[in-house]
Structure 1
Amino acid sequence: MEIKDLLKKELMILDLNANNKKDAIEEIATKFYDHGFVNSKEEFSEGLKAREEQGSTALGDGVAIPHSKNKTVKEPAVLFARKKDGLDYEALDGEDTFVFFAIAAPDGENNLHVETLAELSKMIMKAGFVDDLKNANTPDEVYGVIDKYSENKKEEKVVENTYTSNTPSNNDSAGENISKDFIVAVTACPNGIAHTYMAQEGLEEAARKAGVDIKVETNGSDGIKNRLTEEDIKRAKAVIITADKKVETARFDGKKVIQRPVSDGIRKADELIDRAIKGNANIFHSENKANESYEKSADDSQNLWQRVYGDVMNGISHMLPFVIGGGILLAISFLFERFMGDSSSLFTFLNGLGSDAMSFLIPILAGYIAMSIGDRPALMPGMVAGLMASRGAGFIGGLIGGFVAGYIINFIKKITRNLPKSVEGLKPMLIYPVLGLLLTGIVMYFIIDPIFTGINTAINNWLLNMSGSNRVLLGALLGAMMAIDMGGPINKAAYAFAIGVFTDTGIGSYMAAVMVGGMVPPIAIALACSLFKSKFTEKEKETKITNFILGLSFITEGAIPFAASEPQSVIPSVAIGSAIAGALVGAFNVQSPAPHGGVFVLPAMGSLNQALFFLLAVAVGSIVSALILGKLKKRPEEKLV
C-alpha cells in the first residue's frame, strides 16, 4: 500500500479555517465525516481529543499528527491540512503549527496500512519535508512532496540497515562495525500509530550522526516489530526506552537503561544517544525476570518520591471524573431541594446519582494506586482495600490501602515466579486474585483499619473544633498551594487533603478554600490582560475570555502558559491572591456543598451570604493578583533585551 492510497485528495484542507486547537479538531473530524470515512463525527472528534489529553500530538517545528484508532472509522485514511499563518496547537516547542497529518485508523485492525502510516511518520522527521509542504498549493503538489521524500527514503534504506542491524554489514571492513558502540532502544506510544515510528526515526538518525550502531524495537498498533533478541541486549552498551505505555523491561535486568516519554525520542534523540554512549544511566534491576508486564521504573532520574507521586497521581486522575460528575450533580440536586423540597423526584434522582458516584472515590483511588504499582492483578484487591477504608479509615486509609495491595501483588509475583510452567496459567486467574485479596484484607482489617480509623477520628475532631484564626491560616495555605504549581504535586496535595476532609466529615470549608485558590489564577490573568494591555502580546490578550470562563469553572490550567513563560512574576502574583481568597473563605467559614464546580455550586450553598462571601473571596484574590502581576510583569519588548 502506497502512502498516497491513504492520503486522500478529497480530504486535503489547504487553508484551514480554524484558529485554535478545539476548532481544528472539529474541522478535521467534519471533513472525515463528510466524505464518509467515519460513521460518527462526534465520536471521532472525541477520539482525537482523548489522544490530545494523553499528550499533544503537535511535535514542534510546525507539524502535528492528530490521530485516533476508533471503532467509528470505516477505513484507514490520512487527511492533510495546512494553516497558512499557523495556530496554537499546544506544540512541544511552544510555537505555532502549520501542517497537519490527521490519521483515522479502524479499531481492532492491524493491517498493512499501519506500516504505511509508520513510513509517513518517519518521513515527517526528514529535513525539508515540512517546509516543502508549507509551500504546496494544490493536492498534486502535496503528492509531489510525498513522492520526493519517498524516493529519498528508498535511497537511504541501505544506510539505515547498518544502524538497525545487530550484525555488521557484509560490506564493512573486518571488525569495523563490531568496534562501534551498539545501543538498543524501544519506542511505544498509546495508540501505536505515529509517535512510535517518529521516535524510531529520530533515534536512528541521531545514532547515525553520532557514528554508533542502534537497533530500535517498535511497539506499534501492528504489534512488536524489529524485536530485540537476547544477543542484542547482551551486546548493547545501554538501553533507551521512549514510551508512554508499558513495555517489557524485565529483559533489561542488569543493563544501563534510560527511560523517557516518546516525545523525547522525537525531539531529544541526540541527547539520549549521547547519554547512552557515555553510559550516563543507572543499572536497571527488575523485580521480575519472568517477562511479566509489571516493571519497576527504569528511569534513572526517578527516585522513590517520584514513583510514589506517580502512583498517587494515577489514583487521583482516575478518581477525578467521579469527583466532578458526582459533585456537580450533588450541587444541582441541592438546588432542586431548595426550591422544590426534598420529596422532589428530581432531587431524589440527582442526589442519589451524585452520591453513588461519590461513593466510588476511595475505592477508585486505592484501586488505581494499586494498579500503578502491581499492574492489572492489583486493581481488584486495591479497590476492595479502598471500600474497606471508606467504612472507617477514610481517605488516608484508602490511599495507604492502595499501596498495600500493589506491593502485596508484587510480593506474590516474586514468590511465584519460579513455579512450573504447567501452573503458569493459574496465576492471573486464581493465585493473584485469591491470595492478593486475602493478604490485602488481612492487613487492612487487622492493621490499617484500626490505626487509621483512630487517626481519622482524631483529625476530624480537630478540624471540627478548629478556631476561626486557625481556619483562616489553613485556608490561606490551601489557596496558595493551589496556585503555586497549577496542577502539579503541590496543587494535587491541597486538593487531595480537601477531598479527604469533605469525604470523611462533610466539612466543606477547606474544599471552598481550595476551589477559590484554583479559580483565582486564570481570572487574575484575564483581568491583568484587560488592565495592563501593554504588558501582554496580542496572542496572550486573546485568551481573556477563555481564562475568565475557565476560572469561573474552577479550571486552573488556563494560567499555565503564562506561568511557564514568566514564572518569576506570574507565580508569586497568583499565589498571593489565592492565599488571600482562601483566607477570606476561612474567615467567613464558607462551606462548599460539592467537591467541584466553581460558580456552579453557588445556588446550592447554604445561604445567600455564603454565596456572596465566596464570590467576594474570588473577586478580591483575583484583583490583588492582577494588580501585582501588572506591576511585576515585563513588557514583551523587555523580554527580548
Structure 2
Amino acid sequence: MKITELLKTDTMVLNLESTTKDGVIDELVQKLDTAGRLNDKADFKEAILAREAQSSTGIGEGVAIPHAKTAAVKTPAIAFGRSKNGAEYESLDGQPAHLVFMIAASEGANEDHLQTLSRLSTLLMDESFRSDLIHAESEDEIITLIDKKEKEKLGEEETEESRAEEKDTDTPSILAVTGCPTGIAHTYMAADSLKDKAKEMGLSIKVETNGSDGVKNRLSAEEIEKADAIIVASDTKVEMDRFDGRPVLVKGVTDGIRRPEELLTQAKNGEAPIYKASGGGQEESSGDSSGRKGFYKHLMNGVSNMLPFVVGGGVLIAISFFFGINAANPEDPSYHPFAEALSVIGGENAFGLMVAVLAGFIAMSIADRPGFAPGMIGGLMATTGGAGFLGGLIAGFLAGYVVILLKKALAGLPKVLDGIKTILFYPVLSIFIVGMLMHFVIIEPISIFNTFLENWLDGMGTGNIVILGLILGGMMAVDMGGPINKAAFTFGIAMIDAGNYAPHAAIMAGGMVPPLGIALATTLFKKKFTKEERDAGFSSYFLGAFFITEGAIPFAAADPGRVIPSIIAGSATAGAFAMLFGNGLPAPHGGIFVIPAIQGGSPWLYVLAILIGTVVTALLVGFLKRPIRS
C-alpha cells in the first residue's frame, strides 16, 4: 500500500492557523473528522494526547508526527499540516514544527496499513525531502513529492534485502532494538536513523523493530552471542533477559532518532555496560523517556492493579445495602442471606485482598517477578495486623528494594546457581526479611498512627471538615486521573480502611462533578460547543454518573485555561457540601450505584452536593467559554 492511499488532499492543511501544539492537534483532528476518517473525534483526540503525555512526538528538524492507534479511527489515514512560520511543539531540538503528519491507525489496522504508516516516518529523515514539502505550492504537488520519495525508499529497501541475502552468513558487529509505546512512527525512525548512521560510519548493524505489527527482524541467539555490542533504544517493553552477559547500551527511542552517532560510537568503543538479567523474562527498557519513573511509577502500578478489586468489591458491597444497611448481619432483623453473600465476596474477600495486591504490584514494579511474593505477603500482614493501607504501601516499597538488594548481594554466586535464585533464594530470603520487619518493626507503629489519624478526623470541627472536603474534592479535578487525582483517591481508600467514611464521600462527589458539569454545560450553552463536543457531552452524563472523572479530559485538553478552573471549582464545592451534610461513603467506587450506601447523612443531601458542584462547573464553563465561530 502506498502512503498516498492514506494521505489525500482532503486531509491536508497547507496553512495551519495555530502556533501552539494543542491548536495544531485540534486543527488536524478536525480535518480528519471532517473528511470522515474518524468514528469518534473526542476519543481520537484523547488517544493522541495520551501518546503526547508519554513523550512529545515533535522529533526535531521542524517535524512532528502525532499518532494513535484506536477504535476511534474509522479508516486508517494520515493528515498533513504545514506551518511556514512554525508552531511551538515541544520538539526534541527546541525548534518549531513546520511539517506535522498526524497518523490515525484503526484498532484493527492490517499489516499493510501499519507498514505504510511507519514508512512515512522514515521518509521524513531526509532533509531535502522536508525542504521540498515546505516549499510545495499545492496539495497535488505534495502528493507527487511523496510518491516519488516513496518509490526511491522502496527501491533502497529491495537493494538492502538483496545485499543481506548475499551476506547472510555474516554476523553484524552491532545489534539494535527499537520500540515506542504506539509502535507506528518512532520505532521505525530510530531504526532507520541507526542504520543510516552505521552505514556512514562503516559499521555492520542489524536492527530489530518492536512495532504495532509485532517484532520484525528478530535478533537470533547466535547474532547476540557474536555481536560486539547491543543498543536498545526503546520506551516500551522488550525481551531483555536474552542479552544476559552481553554489552548493552539502554536508551530511549528518541536517543536512537536524535543521537545515533553517539550511541554507535559508544557501542563501537566498548563503552556499553554488561547487562545482568533478572530471570523475569520480559523487562521494561530503562530508557523510558516519558518521565514516569521512580516512586510515582511504582505507586501507579500498584494502584492500577488494585482498582478492579476496589471497583468490583465496592459495587457488590453497595448492592448489599439495597437490602438494608445491616442486612448482611445475621443477628439484625433486616438480615438477608444474599446481602451477606455480597458482603462476604465484596468486603471480606475483594477488599481483604486489596492492600496485598497493591503491595505486591508495587514490589513487582520495582524488582520484577521476585518482588511479587514478598510484597503480597507484606501487604497481607499489614491488613491482618491493623496497619491497613499505609502499611501496605510501606510493605510494597520495602519488598521491592529488599529484592533489589538481594540481587546485588547474590550477584557473585556461581553461574550454575542462577536457575535456583528465583525459585529458592529470592523468595525464601525476601519473604523472611520483609515478614520479620513487618512483624517486629512496622505494623505496630503504623497501627498506632492509623488510630491517631482516625481519632483526629473524628474530632475535627465542622469548619475544618468543610475545608478538608473542599481540598479533596478539588484535587479530584486538577488532573482527572493523574497523580493528584490518584493521591486524593488513595487517601480516601486509606480512610475507609481506617473506618472513617467521610473523606471518601467528598472524593467521589468531587470526581463525579467534572464530566457531569461539562455535560450540563454542553446542554445549556449549545452555541459554545461544536456538534461533536455536544455529542461527547451527552456521553459525559453517564461517565460522571459512574464516577469516571476522565470523561472530562477531552474538554479540558481542548480549552484548559477555561475548563480546568471551572471543574476544580465545581468539584471543590461538591466535596465541601458533602462534608457539610455529614455524608460518609463506605464503598470506594461505583458512582450512582453506591449512593444508597451513604452513611451519616441523607443520600438525597449527597445527591444535592453533587448537583450543586455540577451546576457551579456548568455555569463557569458557560460563562468563560467563547461562542463557536460559524
Question: Normalization by structure 2: what TM-score?
Answer: 0.70
1:300 and 1:522, CA in 2 relative to 1: closer, same or farther beyond 3 A?
Answer: closer
Distance in structure 2 (CA, Å) of the matches to 1:591 and 1:446: 34
Residue 583 of structure 1 corresponds to which residue in structure 2?
576
Check if 1:273 corresponds to 2:257.
yes
What secondary structure sits across from 1:216 in the alignment?
A: strand
Residue 329 of structure 1 corresponds to which residue in structure 2?
316
Match of 1:122 among 92, 115, 124: 115
Deviation digits for residues 448-493 of structure 1 (CA, Å, limit 9, x no counterpart)? 1122122222112212222211111111111111000000000000
1:208 and 1:370, CA in 2 relative to 1: closer, same or farther beyond 3 A?
Answer: closer
Match of 2:603 among 596, 611, 622: 611
Q: Amino acid of the residue matched to residue 314 of structure 2? A: G
Residue 83 of structure 2 corresponds to which residue in structure 1?
none
What secondary structure sits across from 2:207 in the alignment?
A: strand
1:367 and 1:201, CA in 2 relative to 1: closer, same or farther beyond 3 A?
Answer: same
1:285 and 1:467, CA in 2 relative to 1: closer, same or farther beyond 3 A?
Answer: farther
Distance in structure 2 (CA, Å) of the matches to 1:591 and 1:163: 71
Match of 2:356 among 359, 363, 377: 363
Contact 1:480 1:578 (C-alpha < 8 Å) held by counterparts: yes
1:291 and 1:613, CA in 2 relative to 1: closer, same or farther beyond 3 A?
Answer: closer
Deviation digits for residues 2-42 of structure 1 (CA, Å, limit 9, x no counterpart)? 9xxxxxxxxxxxx9999449999xxxxxxxxxxxxxxxxxx
Question: 1:350: how far off?
Answer: 1.2
Question: 1:197: how far off?
Answer: 7.6
What secondary structure sits across from 1:240 in the alignment?
A: strand
Q: Amino acid of the residue matched to residue 346 of structure 2? A: G
Matches within 5 A, 1:104-503: 117=111, 121-127=114-120, 155-158=155-158, 160=160, 184-187=176-179, 200-207=187-194, 215-218=206-209, 225-226=218-219, 229=224, 234=229, 239-244=232-237, 247-248=240-241, 257-259=250-252, 272-277=256-261, 289-290=276-277, 292-293=279-280, 298-299=286-287, 306-337=293-324, 342-355=334-347, 356-391=349-384, 392-503=386-497
Q: Amino acid of the residue matched to residue 385 of structure 1? A: G
Distance in structure 1 (CA, Å) of the matches to 2:326 and 2:100: 48
Contact 1:330 1:350 (C-alpha < 8 Å) held by counterparts: yes
Contact 2:383 2:392 (C-alpha < 8 Å) held by counterparts: yes
Distance in structure 2 (CA, Å) of the matches to 1:257 and 1:338: 56
Instruction: Tell which deviates more after alignment, 534-543 or 598-607.
Output: 598-607
Q: Amino acid of the residue matched to residue 344 of structure 2? A: G
Contact 2:37 2:74 (C-alpha < 8 Å) held by counterparts: no
Residue 549 of structure 1 corresponds to which residue in structure 2?
542
1:84 and 1:417, CA in 2 relative to 1: closer, same or farther beyond 3 A?
Answer: closer
Contact 2:402 2:434 (C-alpha < 8 Å) held by counterparts: yes
Q: In the comparison of the two structures, how many residue pairs are matched?
A: 520
Question: 1:583: how far off?
Answer: 0.7
1:219 and 1:20, CA in 2 relative to 1: closer, same or farther beyond 3 A?
Answer: closer
Deviation digits for residues 203-246 of structure 1 (CA, Å, limit 9, x no counterpart)? 23445677867642245867981357477564x7x651132466
Question: 1:123: how far off?
Answer: 3.2
Q: Amino acid of the residue matched to residue 520 of structure 2? A: L
Match of 2:621 among 623, 629, 634: 629
Distance in structure 1 (CA, Å) of the matches to 2:245 and 2:116: 30
Matches within 5 A, 1:79-94: 82=75
Deviation digits for residues 259-304 of structure 1 (CA, Å, limit 9, x no counterpart)? 35xxxxxxxx6x751144467999999897246448686237577x
Residue 89 of structure 1 corresponds to which residue in structure 2?
none
Q: Amino acid of the residue matched to residue 208 of structure 2? A: E
Contact 2:195 2:207 (C-alpha < 8 Å) held by counterparts: no
1:351 and 1:169, CA in 2 relative to 1: closer, same or farther beyond 3 A?
Answer: closer
Gaps of 5+ in 1: 3-14, 25-48, 68-79, 87-92, 105-116, 130-147, 171-176, 190-194, 261-268
Residue 567 of structure 1 corresponds to which residue in structure 2?
560
Q: Amino acid of the residue matched to residue 217 of structure 1? A: E
Residue 144 of structure 1 corresponds to which residue in structure 2?
none
1:85 and 1:469, CA in 2 relative to 1: closer, same or farther beyond 3 A?
Answer: same
Distance in structure 2 (CA, Å) of the matches to 1:412 and 1:363: 22
1:467 and 1:65, CA in 2 relative to 1: closer, same or farther beyond 3 A?
Answer: closer
Distance in structure 2 (CA, Å) of the matches to 1:120 and 1:615: 49
Distance in structure 2 (CA, Å) of the matches to 1:306 and 1:202: 24
Contact 2:207 2:217 (C-alpha < 8 Å) held by counterparts: no
Gaps of 5+ in 2: 2-34, 58-63, 80-98, 123-147, 328-332
Distance in structure 2 (CA, Å) of the matches to 1:125 and 1:633: 38
Deviation digits for residues 573-621 of structure 1 (CA, Å, limit 9, x no counterpart)? 11111111111111111111311111111223347x5211111111111
Contact 1:164 1:215 (C-alpha < 8 Å) held by counterparts: no
Deviation digits for residues 67-116 of structure 1 (CA, Å, limit 9, x no counterpart)? 9xxxxxxxxxxxx9748999xxxxxx999987647269xxxxxxxxxxxx
Residue 6 of structure 2 corresponds to which residue in structure 1?
none
Distance in structure 2 (CA, Å) of the matches to 1:586 and 1:631: 27
Contact 2:451 2:498 (C-alpha < 8 Å) held by counterparts: no
Distance in structure 2 (CA, Å) of the matches to 1:342 and 1:127: 67
Instruction: Tell which deviates more after alignment, 569-578 or 154-163.
Output: 154-163
Q: Amino acid of the residue matched to residue 474 of structure 1? A: L
1:619 and 1:249, CA in 2 relative to 1: closer, same or farther beyond 3 A?
Answer: farther
Distance in structure 1 (CA, Å) of the matches to 2:543 and 2:37: 24
1:285 and 1:153, CA in 2 relative to 1: closer, same or farther beyond 3 A?
Answer: closer
What secondary structure sits across from 1:328 in the alignment?
A: helix
1:470 and 1:282, CA in 2 relative to 1: closer, same or farther beyond 3 A?
Answer: farther
Distance in structure 2 (CA, Å) of the matches to 1:533 and 1:94: 31
Contact 1:370 1:378 (C-alpha < 8 Å) held by counterparts: yes
Question: 1:553: how far off?
Answer: 0.9
Q: Amino acid of the residue matched to residue 407 of structure 1? A: Y
Residue 538 of structure 1 corresponds to which residue in structure 2?
531
Higher relative contact order (CA 8 A, sep 6+): 2
Distance in structure 1 (CA, Å) of the matches to 2:382 and 2:104: 51
Distance in structure 2 (CA, Å) of the matches to 1:423 and 1:66: 45
Residue 8 of structure 1 corresponds to which residue in structure 2?
none
Two-structure CA RMSD over aligned residues (Å): 4.8
